[in-house]
Amino acid sequence: MIKERNITEIVQFILLGFSDFPHIKVLLLVMFLTLYITTLTWNLSLIVLIRMDSYLHTPMYFFLSNLAFIDICYISSTVPKMLSNLFQENQTISFVGCIVQYFIFSTMGLSESCLMTAMAYDRYAAICNPLLYSSIMSPTLCSQMVMGSYTAGLIGSVSQVCTLLQLQFCGPNVIRHFFCDMPQLLNLSCTDTFFAQVVLLILTMLFCLSNALAIMVSYVYIVLSIMKITSAKGRSKAFNTCASHLTAVSLFYTSSAFVYLSSSSGGSSSFDRFVSVFYTVVIPMLNPLVYSLRNKEIKDAVKRLQKKLGCCY
């Protein structure tokens, strides 16, 4: 006697997003569209500026241009779909689309975590070994560190997607979020998610904790080196070169850690979703501003570009 399987595979999910705030739907649309356009404009402008100005062809700005590229991909993996859902009554995403969205989002997030560690090492080399900086941070090493960041992010993301594809989803299919995220997907699975949770925990340890620890150790050495500088002006200049990176790291890790720790059960409250907006939408917009606001080299590069454009006209 053949036992019938009464399992219906889900082919699409419903993204609730911010549908529990229908009275501010138009406001949300305008706000997220403005944030998205601003993020694309600022990050693309930073990439073009670094590319065009030969004075910015240094390891620090090479890493910064790659960070800008990651932020563009990072925000583009979630916001366009969220904006389109605000227009529609049926806020759905296909199973394949959900997996692809999470794959891009995860790859870019993990790559950014690794790249921030590479940027911390760059600052360590610049301040702790200034005389050997050029030989330490060679173009070959910089390229290897960037490619290593992308490769690590890709491997980490592929391993998560492979575990997701082993799961079955047979209902319910409602995701209380504005994008497909791992905790929510695990909560919707009708099969055992223990292995997937172990993989997620291992990757969290490898990427988040190890990178955060490496950055902290780098800054311990940086602070000790800065304290040895006798000149107050020299100390101030050294602190300023690290302040922007430290600010970006703090914002990224604090907000993402809060969301993933608070939503470990797979639920997603309205507050969690708004905090998620901070690290998925606001931080990619703030990064170019954080790195450029008090950066004299960036300001000088903008002035040189303005002069070039003025000469052209």
Strands ordered across the beta sheet of 12-15:
92-94, 12-15, 174-175
Domain ranges (residues) in the chain: 12-312
Q: What is the pLDDT of residue 268?
A: 58
207-233 pLDDT, tens digit each: 888 999 999 999 999 999 988 887 777
Structure tokens, 185: 């997907």
Amino acid code (one letter) for 196 = A
Q: What is the pLDDT of residue 58?
A: 93
Give the fold, CATH level 3, of 12-312: Rhopdopsin 7-helix transmembrane proteins (1.20.1070)
Q: What is the pLDDT of residue 2?
A: 38
β strands within the chain, DSSP E: 12-15, 92-94, 174-175
Quick count: other Cβ atoms within 10 Å of Cβ 260?
A: 18
The DSSP-derived string for 237-248 is: HHHHHHHHHHHH
The predicted model scores a pTM of 0.91
Q: What is the pLDDT of residue 233?
A: 77
Are the C-beta atoms of residues 126 and 191 closer than 8 Å to each other? Answer: no
Predicted confidence pLDDT, tens digits, the chain (313 residues): 334 444 557 888 999 887 777 788 889 899 999 999 999 999 999 999 999 998 999 999 999 999 999 999 999 999 999 998 887 777 889 999 999 999 999 999 999 999 999 999 999 999 999 899 999 999 999 999 999 999 999 999 999 999 999 999 887 889 888 899 888 899 899 888 999 999 988 988 888 889 999 999 999 999 999 888 877 777 887 787 788 888 888 888 887 777 666 555 444 566 777 778 888 899 999 999 888 877 888 888 888 888 877 766 5
Structure tokens, 251: 């914002």
What is the C-alpha separation between 252 and 261, in angstroms, rounded?
14
